[in-house]
Chains A and B, each alone.
Chain A
């Protein structure tokens, strides 16, 4: 593994940083308060290639390598974690899945729209009764001549309210359980497909999370992604990327919380001196920075493996687990350093504290990561 970023990767990181500081930083608090990211922003992101980061140019993508993509995600997370997760789902889950598993017809039909930002994508696996236990889905899609008839409910669907195309995991062969799951591409607006009210969340409030319900919803048979009953494998194959993405998000949030704390501790005077002069604060800052450094390296390492097509399930889980736990440690310390101000919404660390909490939950809880890691160790 090479620790040095290439010139291209440095440029991409710098461009993302500029975009984030010009376009996201001034509005991130507003997105949080209004619990919405305006759709126009996605258009702007598409114009700059951020809606097709991992896609090759023939489909309108910007053809970034995976490490570059992770660098962009980290930069965006420093200012707006809510946007990051929305883009992460769109780029690394749905677009990448269609690219890997789609037929040429599906690729031509959907990828250009996704990369141009005409379509926003969503990924839908979780159900009310199937969270960590993702294998126990209840939503069914039964083939009846040319159509699958879908019935059931999905929860916590990121981009649920703004997406045009949904990657839906359902049972096509219910008796086979996880071996009877298929992945269907479902467009918004189909009869029998209802999108519920926006979830009210602790953090990443700008991201649009919904419940989806299906009542005899008909989806053409050709909308199946990959082979029938092989959907669970698709879901699992995407998890590594998703987890590395959440790892990058965690690192980004944590880095920003540290940066804000450094700034504040230099400015804030108590007992006649800046609080960064006190050893209690210095040691907090040192611990935060050390933890972030370790997390970042785990994330980059997993990204490097993923980029080089080396199996990295264990490493992706470790990176996600470690980075999300330390992000929560760091944001807590950041609020603590800010004292009363850290509890107020005028200060960004208040939002980071709420945003970071989800990193230990989605794309597999920390408990699910530990299951994956120990399973790999005990093989």
Chain B
């Protein structure tokens, strides 16, 4: 895809920043499963924690295509940082910005956009994964407060976030139309965060459970109207998918770049690997797949920026990019041989990190359901 110079210049800037400031810590945060506070601080300073909201809310108000480039470039060097930034922007800020009233937006968005606080989105529950409509957490209105009971799992940034958007059932009789969204703040009585999950990859990203026990949330923290939660999170996830697709794309590009470099320098049978046709064809296939994924992602971003419907396109982009990315990371390890299996080389981490892209924000199976549903319209 031919990008305008302003986008290429922007990418260049973000790439330089990522390689200089983010990449050096990537290995360490994976090994120690530490949250990359320093990385996030530097990213906040660049205004990249409020990419999707305009300056009046403390954001940088860049378009979706630029946002995608940021997530892509960060993920190219560190998937954990990429997903943290993507979740904060797409899942925490976006729903407040899209569905919040003016008061909520003014209160919650600026600290998030400026990076003073991190945000998280609580949708998934132990029994409600792909079947997100099967939410069991309840919020019962009692005077001025909703009383929330239940739990959420696999919540990105759960133990580092201070502002949360969660879904809960406010009317059990209405099925998915009885789900509503609430804004929670860290420290509310009855709101606790469970222990950090021990994951295959993205080990620097923080994932934990949320627990609500007789948690009282002021009724003005309702996002939009009662019963709109299901519709809201579907819209939120359309945007989220593009960002996970961008993350997959970035990881794939990172793995590919490493594989190119290695195959130029690694000598076997007295010549660089890159001179063997078996390796050349692998690299050609990898590059072609990445290119196709990139087009799908940028196209979905382009549609979002134009304000057009992009449900099918965002699902296709996420599905395709995440499958391609796993294939590319897998092949990158193959090109590295034994070194690729060692945690001393980054491609090992890339494969563990990228696997999440086929699971998070809707598994590949869910993407296929969404795509099919759109085809049948």
Q: Which residues of A contact B (CB under 8 A)?
A: 126, 129-133, 136, 155-156, 199-203, 269-272, 280-281, 328, 332, 335-336, 339-340, 342-346, 350, 353-354, 357-358, 360-362, 365-367, 370
Nearest-CB residue, chain A, relative to B336: A361
Nearest chain A CB to B204's CB is how many angstroms away? Answer: 14
Contact partners of A360 in chain B: CB under 8 A: 334
Please provide the chain B residues from 219 to 259 with a CB less than 8 Å away from any CB of chain A in the complex.
none
The answer to whether A346 and B198 have CB atoms under 8 Å apart is: yes
Nearest chain A CB to B327's CB is how many angstroms away? Answer: 10
Contact partners of A131 in chain B: CB under 8 A: 268, 337-338
The answer to whether B351 and A357 have CB atoms under 8 Å apart is: yes
Interface status of B101 (Cβ within 8 A of chain A): no
Nearest chain B CB to A366's CB is how many angstroms away? Answer: 7
Q: Which of B200, B334, B340, B358 contacts A354 (CB 8 A)?
A: B200
- The 22 listed contacts between A and B (C-beta, < 8 Å) are A129-B267, A131-B338, A133-B270, A136-B269, A136-B270, A155-B338, A199-B343, A270-B128, A270-B130, A271-B130, A281-B365, A336-B358, A336-B359, A336-B363, A336-B365, A344-B200, A345-B200, A350-B199, A358-B341, A360-B334, A367-B278, A370-B278
The answer to whether A136 and B268 have CB atoms under 8 Å apart is: yes
Contact partners of A136 in chain B: CB under 8 A: 268-270
Interface SS of chain B: helix, strand, loop or mixed?
Answer: mixed
Nearest-CB residue, chain B, relative to A199: B342
How many cross-chain pairs have Cβ atoms below 8 Å apart between A and B? Answer: 110
Contact partners of B326 in chain A: CB under 8 A: 332
The answer to whether A344 and B270 have CB atoms under 8 Å apart is: no
Give Cα A360 to B90, complex, Å. 37
Give Cα A280 to B199, complex, Å. 26
The answer to whether B268 and A353 have CB atoms under 8 Å apart is: no
Interface status of B213 (Cβ within 8 A of chain A): no
The answer to whether B337 and A340 have CB atoms under 8 Å apart is: no
Q: Which of B343, B344, B364 contacts A336 (CB 8 A)?
A: B364
Give Cα A281 to B130, complex, Å. 13
Interface status of B79 (Cβ within 8 A of chain A): no
Interface status of B131 (Cβ within 8 A of chain A): yes
The answer to whether B343 and A343 have CB atoms under 8 Å apart is: no
The answer to whether B268 and A340 have CB atoms under 8 Å apart is: no
The answer to whether B337 and A202 have CB atoms under 8 Å apart is: no
Contact partners of B344 in chain A: CB under 8 A: 199-200
The answer to whether B341 and A132 have CB atoms under 8 Å apart is: no
Nearest-CB residue, chain A, relative to B348: A202
The answer to whether B363 and A343 have CB atoms under 8 Å apart is: no
Q: Which of A132, A328, A335, A350 contacts B337 (CB 8 A)?
A: A132
Nearest chain A CB to B252's CB is how many angstroms away? Answer: 16
Contact partners of B364 in chain A: CB under 8 A: 336
Give Cα A365 to B336, complex, Å. 10
Contact partners of A335 in chain B: CB under 8 A: 200, 355, 359
Give Cα A160 to B360, complex, Å. 38
Contact partners of B124 in chain A: CB under 8 A: 340
Give Cα A339 to B359, complex, Å. 6
Please provide the chain B residues from 166 to 198 with a CB less than 8 Å away from any CB of chain A in the complex.
197-198
Contact partners of A345 in chain B: CB under 8 A: 198-200
The answer to whether B355 and A353 have CB atoms under 8 Å apart is: yes
Q: Which of B130, B268, B341 contacts A202 (CB 8 A)?
A: B341
The answer to whether A353 and B363 have CB atoms under 8 Å apart is: no
Interface status of B330 (Cβ within 8 A of chain A): yes
Give Cα A131 to B266, complex, Å. 10
Nearest chain B CB to A225's CB is how many angstroms away? Answer: 24
The answer to whether B356 and A343 have CB atoms under 8 Å apart is: yes
Bitwise, B110-153 to A at CB < 8 A (1) or not (0) is 00000000000000100111110010000000000000000001
Contact partners of B106 in chain A: CB under 8 A: none
Most-contacted residue by chain A among B199, B200, B270 (CB, 10 A): B200
Bitwise, B263-274 to A at CB < 8 A (1) or not (0) is 000011110000
Give Cα A162 to B360, complex, Å. 40
Nearest-CB residue, chain A, relative to B365: A280
Give Cα A354 to B267, complex, Å. 27
Bitwise, B343-373 to A at CB < 8 A (1) or not (0) is 1100010011001101110011100100000
Most-contacted residue by chain B among A271, A328, A367 (CB, 10 A): A367
The answer to whether A132 and B334 have CB atoms under 8 Å apart is: no
Q: A133-B269, A340-B153 are in contact. Are A361 and B334 (CB under 8 A)?
A: yes
Give Cα A354 to B364, complex, Å. 20
Contact partners of A270 in chain B: CB under 8 A: 128-131, 134
Nearest-CB residue, chain B, relative to A350: B200
Q: Which of B130, B269, B348 contacts A339 (CB 8 A)?
A: B130
Q: A133-B268, A353-B355 are in contact. Are A200 and B338 (CB under 8 A)?
A: no
The answer to whether A201 and B134 have CB atoms under 8 Å apart is: no
Nearest chain B CB to A131's CB is how many angstroms away? Answer: 5
Contact partners of B199 in chain A: CB under 8 A: 343-345, 350
Interface status of B333 (Cβ within 8 A of chain A): yes
Interface status of B58 (Cβ within 8 A of chain A): no
Contact partners of A281 in chain B: CB under 8 A: 365
Give Cα A166 to B154, complex, Å. 46
Contact partners of B131 in chain A: CB under 8 A: 270-272
Q: Which of B198, B269, B351 contacts A344 (CB 8 A)?
A: B198
The answer to whether B153 and A201 have CB atoms under 8 Å apart is: no
The answer to whether A340 and B359 have CB atoms under 8 Å apart is: yes
Give Cα A269 to B130, complex, Å. 10
Contact partners of B201 in chain A: CB under 8 A: 343
Contacts beyond the supplied A202-B352, A357-B341, A361-B340: 10 A-B pairs with Cβ under 8 Å:
A136-B270, A201-B343, A201-B348, A202-B351, A280-B365, A281-B365, A332-B355, A336-B358, A340-B153, A353-B355
Give Cα A32 to B150, complex, Å. 33
Nearest-CB residue, chain A, relative to B326: A332
Nearest chain B CB to A191's CB is how many angstroms away? Answer: 28
